[in-house]
Chain A
Amino acid sequence: AQSVTQLGSHVSVSEGALVLLRCNYSSSVPPYLFWYVQYPNQGLQLLLKYTSAATLVKGINGFEAEFKKSETSFHLTKPSAHMSDAAEYFCAVSDEGGSGNTGKLIFGQGTTLQVKP
Chain B
Amino acid sequence: DTAVSQTPKYLVTQMGNDKSIKCEQNLGHDTMYWYKQDSKKFLKIMFSYNNKELIINETVPNRFSPKSPDKAHLNLHINSLELGDSAVYFCASSPGQGNTIYFGEGSWLTVV
Chain A residues with CB under 8 Å of chain B are 32, 34, 36, 38, 41-46, 49, 51, 88, 90, 94-95, 97, 100-107, 109-110
Contact = CB atoms under 8 A, between A and B. Distances in A.
A43 B97 contact: no
Given A103-B31, A107-B44, A49 B100 contact: yes
A69 B100 CA distance: 21
A102 B53 CA distance: 11
Nearest to B58: A104
B62 interface: no
Given A44-B90, A94-B97, A107-B42, A100 B55 contact: yes
A34 B94 CA distance: 14
Interface in B86-106: 90, 94-106
Contact of B98 (A32, A43, A100): A32
A95 B108 CA distance: 26
Interface string B53-76: 101100000000000000000000
Contact of A94 (B40, B90, B98): B98
Contacts of A109: 40-42
A34 B42 CA distance: 16
Contacts of A102: 31, 48, 50, 55-56, 97
A94 B40 CA distance: 22
A102 B93 CA distance: 11
A109 B105 CA distance: 19
Contacts of A90: 43
Given A101-B30, A101-B95, 10 more contacts: A43-B90, A43-B105, A46-B100, A100-B50, A101-B96, A103-B97, A104-B45, A105-B101, A109-B40, A110-B43
A6 to B, nearest CB: 11
A104 B56 contact: yes
Nearest to B99: A103
